[in-house]
Amino acid sequence: MQVRFFSVIIFLLLFHIANAQTITGLVTDIMGKPLIGANVIWENTKSGTVTDSSGNFSIQDKLDGNRIIKISYVGFTTERLDVKSIRHWEIQLIEDATLSEVNITAKGSATRFANDVAKVEVLGVREIQRAACCSLAGCFSTNSNVEANVTNIVTDAKELRILGLSGVYNQVLVDGMPLIQGLAYPYGPGSYPGTMIEKIFVTKGANSVLQGFESISGQINIEFHKAETAPKLFLNAFANSFGETQYNANYMIKKTGWSNLAVGHLTLPATIIDRDKDGFRDIVRTNRVSFYNRWSYDNPEKPKWRVTIAARYLNENREGGLTNFDRKKDLGTLAVYGQNVRINHGELYTKTNYIVNDKASLILLNSAFAQHQESYFGVKKYDGKQFNLTSSLYMDYYYGEKNHNLKFGISHRHNRLQEDISFTAPIPLLTYAGRYLTNYDIPGAFVENKLVVSKFTFLTGLRVDHFGDFGWKATPRLLVRADISPDTDIRFSIGKGYRIPHVFTENANLLASNRILKLSDNLAPEEAINTGLNFVQSFHLKETKITLSGDAYVTYFQNQIFPDFDKEVNTAIVDNFFGRSVSKSFQLENKWEFSPQFDIKSSV
C-alpha cells in the first residue's frame, strides 16, 4: 500500500434551509451510495456528529473561529470543508487505495474490511488492544489471516505468515515503506511497540504494484498514530511473570501546519527461568531501546504541499541458551552453549506530495535503513551489515468525473548487504565460513489504472524491473471487485511476484544447527503467480451484524528457494528449484458483532 492524499468532489446546492443556525449535508461515495456513520467534526474540536442511515447529517453551526468541517470515512480520503455562508452540502468521498488517511475510532468495529478493490482487513486500535500485544508481532493473536511464527526459539526470531506460506513471501510495510527486509526481517516485527501502532492493513494475495515487485502471498502495512487521533501524552508499562518489563512513552505536538510525534521504548530483560528443567532458558532475555520521531506538514493555508519526515533508532540485545551461559566469559566458546544477537538499526523515510490541481498529485517517496548485526550461535559468529535505499516518484491522476484513477512512475532500489560467517572453534564438516555479498540496484517503472464501471471495479497494474544479470522482469497484476449489493462483495485477483533471497537472514535456524550447508552460488530471484477468489457477505439481525467471508488462494512457484533437508542426511541444500511447486489456501470466517464492545469470531 502507498501513501494517498485528499481528493473529493463537492457539489454545492445553492439554497437556504429554514434553520439558519444548522448546517446540513449528504455524504456519499462516487456512485452515489450513502456512507452511513461517516464522521463530521469541526476541525480542532471534539464537537461533531455522524451521518445517519441515509448518509445525511446535521451539525450546529460554529459562528466564530475556525469554521472548517472535517468529513472522514473508513477506506476513503478525508475532506475539509470551509463552510462560509453555505448551509447545505452534498459531498462525494473518493476511495483511498493507499488507506493513508483512514481513521479507526475506539467506538467502531475492532476489525473491518476496507472499501477497496483488494480485500483489505483493517485492524483498528480496539483490536490491537484486545490482543494485549507488546510489539507488531503480537498484534495478530486474535486474527486468523496472519500467523506470527517463531523461526528460532532460542532468540525468539519471528516471521508474519499469510496464506500459510513463509513470511518472506509477504511484504511488510511501515507507513507504506519497505523497511522490514534483509537483516531487519527476523527481528523487525518484534521491535515496533504495539502502543505506537494505530492501525494495520492486511491484504491477501496480489495487490498494487506501487510498492514493488514482492508481496507474493500478501501485504501487511502498519500505520502509526497521527496528530488527529493521538493523545498529547501517553504512558504505558508492562510486566510479565518472567520478570520482563517494558515502558512506552508517546508525546504529540501540534502547531499550525506542523505536527510531531515522539515515541520512546525501553525493554528490560526477564529473569533466568527454566520451569521445564531441560537446562535451557524458557524465555529470551532482551534489552531494547528505541526512539521514533515523525514530523508532518499539512498547512490548510498552503494546501499544495504535504510532507512527512520520520526517523527511528533501535539498539537491541537478545540472549538465549543454557541457564548458566554467561555472555562475558562464554560467548563464542565451547564451555557453555549460548546464542547472542546484538543489533544497531537506524531508518529514515520521507513522503512528499505536491497537489498539481484538483485531479492530479505528484508523490515522492524515499526510505532508507542501515543495520549492523553481530550474532553468536555457539561457536558460529555471524556479522551482517546492510544499507538499503528505496525511492519512487509517481503521478496520481483522476479522470472521468474522478471515478477512474491512473498512477504511473519510476522507482529504484539500492541494496548493499555484507555477511561474514566465521567459527571461533573448529567444527567438523562445516565449510561455509566466509564472506557473502548481496548487492544490487534495481531500477523500475510502473503504471496502474483503476476503472469503475457500474458495480464493478477493475485495477490493472504492470511494472518492469531490471534485476542485473537476470535482466528485465515484468510484474502484471489484475484485481476485480463486484459490488453486488451494500452487503455483498466478490473479489478476484491474479498477479505475479518476485523476491531477492537472503539465505542467512531469512533462515537463522541454519546457523543454530550443525547441519552441513551446501549453498548454490547462482541463486536467481524467486518467482511465483498468485490467484485468489474471495467474498464478503453481511447480514443484519436487529442490532446484530453478521459477516461471513471466504477465501481461496493458489500460489504457483516458477522458482522457489528453500533449505532442502531431505535430499542428504544431516545436510541443508539451498538451490534454485524450478520444478512444480504449488501452495493452496482456503479459509472461512464468521463474525458476529453484538455491540461495539462485544463480538465473536470463528474461522477454519
Confidence at 132, pLDDT banded by 50, 70, 90? low
Q: Fold for domain 111-223?
A: Ferric Hydroxamate Uptake Protein; Chain A, domain 1 (2.170.130)
pTM over 0.75: yes
Report domain extents, the chain: 8-93, 111-223, 224-603
7 or 44: which leads in pLDDT:
44
For residue 160, is pLDDT > 60?
yes
pLDDT at 12: 29
pLDDT at 181 over 70: yes
Burial environment of residue 195 by CB neighbours within 10 A (0 to 12, 13 to 18, 19 or more):
buried
**Cα–Cα distance for residue pair 362/356, rounded to 1 Å:** 7
At 483, the amino acid letter reads: D
**pLDDT at 64 exceeding the cut of 50:** yes
pLDDT of residue 600: 86
β pairing state of 380-399 and 360-377: antiparallel
> What pLDDT is recorded for position 110?
62
pLDDT of residue 159: 92
The C-alpha cell at 347 is 531508518
Closest to 525 (Cα-Cα) out of 444, 585, 440: 440
480 within 8 A of 455, measured Cβ to Cβ: no
Confidence of residue 3 (pLDDT cuts 50, 70, 90): very low
Strand order in the sheet with 68-72: 48-50, 39-42, 68-72, 79-82
d(CA 319, CA 82): 56
Neighbour count for residue 138 (Cβ, 10 Å): 16
Q: Which long-range contacts (CB under 8 A, 24 or more apart) does 318-321 make?
A: 318/155, 318/156, 318/187, 318/284, 318/285, 318/286, 318/342, 318/343, 319/269, 319/284, 319/285, 319/286, 320/154, 320/155, 320/156, 320/280, 320/281, 320/284, 320/285, 321/154, 321/280, 321/281
Residue with cell 529504484: 412
Query: For residues 12 and 532, which has the higher predicted lDDT (pLDDT)?
Result: 532
Q: What is the mean pLDDT of residues 355-369?
A: 93
Instruction: Please determine, for residue 228, whether its predicted confidence score (pLDDT) is greater than 50.
Output: yes
Strands 8-12 and 22-28: unpaired
Instruction: Give the closest residue to 497 by CA, choosing from 116, 151, 97, 162.
Output: 162
Tally DSSP H helices, then E strands, for the chain: 4, 34
**Choice among 11-20, 210-219, 460-469, 580-589 with the minimum mean pLDDT:** 11-20
Residue 55 has a pLDDT of: 79
Topology of domain 224-603, per CATH?
Maltoporin; Chain A (2.40.170)
Q: pLDDT tier at 229 (50, 70, 90 boundaries)?
A: low
Q: Which of the residue ranges 258-272, 296-310, 415-429, 546-560 would you say has the lowest mean pLDDT?
A: 296-310
Nearest Cα to 155, choosing from 191, 196, 195?
Answer: 191
**Span of 281-285, 354-358, 442-446 with lowest mean pLDDT:** 354-358
The pLDDT of residue 581 is 94
What CATH superfamily classification does 8-93 receive? Carboxypeptidase-like, regulatory domain (2.60.40.1120)
Q: Is the dihedral of CA 12, 16, 17, 22 positive or negative?
A: positive
pLDDT tens-digit map of 305-318: 889 999 999 999 99
Pairing of strands 218-224, 170-174: parallel
Asked whether residue 39 carries a pLDDT value surpassing 90, the answer given is no
For cell 508492562, the residue is 238
- For residue 348, what are the contacts with CB-CB under 8 A and spacing of at least 6? 309, 310, 311, 312, 367, 368, 369
Nearest to residue 396, comparing CAs of 118, 4, 93? 4
What does the pLDDT read at residue 53? Answer: 64
Instruction: Convert the pLDDT of each residue in 310-354 to its tens digit.
Output: 999 999 999 999 999 999 999 999 999 999 999 999 999 999 999
Residue 388 to residue 182: CA distance in whole angstroms: 9
Does the fold of domain 111-223 match that of domain 8-93? Answer: no
